[in-house]
Amino acid sequence: MLTEEGRSEARIAGRSAATSDYSRSRVDAPPMTAAAWLAATLLRWRIAAAVSAAVLLLAALAVVIVPPAYRSKASFVANGSGGLKLPGSLSALAGSGGGLMGIASQLGVSAGADPSESPAFYEQLIRSRELLTRLVESRFADPRTESPADSAPLVDLLKVREKDPRRRTEVGIKKASRAIKVDLDMKTSLVRLSVDAQWPELSAAVANRVVDLVNAFNLEQRLTRARSKREFVQGRLDDAQRELSAAEWRLRDFYEENRQWRTSPSLTFTEGQLSRQVDVANDMYLSLRREFESARINEVNETPVVTVVDSAVAPRKPQWPQYPLVFVTACLVGVLFGTLAAAIAALRADWARRHPEDAAELRRARRQVTRELRSSLPGNAAARHASPEAEIL
């Protein structure tokens, strides 16, 4: 019988021999060349075909599951107001050199214009929370019904499932923001916007509604200093009119009560005072009247007006899916991933040939994990618990 030391030496010798054989198996394998790799990849054409078919199947499922998307486009130009002007020296410098004007126009800034009238401002305005909130709360013709009189808020047409009104509005704003795309032309101050929607009529209606909301913002919320001046002048004009009327009534009462005022020095002096008060009040009234008319004109001139270049029209062809493009793209992606999968399979086979012990260990681990996963399934777990009882019976 072998002693304990002999058995230990035998185990060590066995391990050394196994390690030596394993090392020889790793070294003796010839390296894979590029030609061999290409040949092994071509021989695994079934893997490439299966992956390509899977990609085509996924593309077909995407075409069926993902709803169609129609894109409508609209464009407008903001007619700037008189706005603030540059000082004379700066305007002369910009006009004489020409370089500053060109740089400013390329950056979307016009000399002497209000920055809030630039195309970049309108892009931010379209993406603002205030405008998007008004948009998702607006009602549109419901394309889900056959009756043209039916309408629904945009937040419902975007299929927002939230029950909380504030959360519904928040999610609707995010969806509307993703559906709207804005493109700017700095040289012409042209703002182009496109809207994607599931229905063509809804897409066009939303795009036109965005333009209407931008115009409403200019008319309702962009209160310029001209309007404040007009309101102030209007108030002063009303006061001046009342003062003029009061002065005229005092002078009239004086004439009715004093028919012979010219024969009395004191009455003559009083009449002069009253007449001067009427003249001052009249001059003040006329001056304020002119200022009021000028303020009304400036208020209209200084309010930017949106000029619609192209109104949105319901498209006939969807943006998604475009079947030829989807098919070609799916084929290219399928061939690419299929070839990659076949190449990886060839490299894996070569690695297993070079490292048989590691490959065998990997297969054993994979089988063990597979058995454990199967045994953890509900049906298999119930059968496993019931098997001891069956054995007892």
Task: Name the residue ranges covered by the structural domains of the chain.
Answer: 32-65+327-384, 70-85+104-222, 225-302
Calculate the alpha carbon distances from 363 to 26, 354, 368 in Å: 18, 15, 9
Asked if 253 contacts 270 with a C-beta cutoff of 8 angstroms, the reply is no
Of 181, 134, 182, 142, the C-alpha closest to 158 is 142
CATH code of 70-85+104-222, in short, is 3.30.1890
Asked if 90 contacts 109 with a C-beta cutoff of 8 angstroms, the reply is no
The 10s digit of each residue's pLDDT in 187-231 is 888 999 999 999 999 999 999 999 999 988 877 766 666 778 888
Share of the chain above pLDDT 70, in %: 77
Share of the chain above pLDDT 90, in %: 47
d(CA 250, CA 270): 11
The 10s digit of each residue's pLDDT in 13-65 is 554 444 444 444 444 567 788 888 999 999 999 999 999 999 999 999 998 89
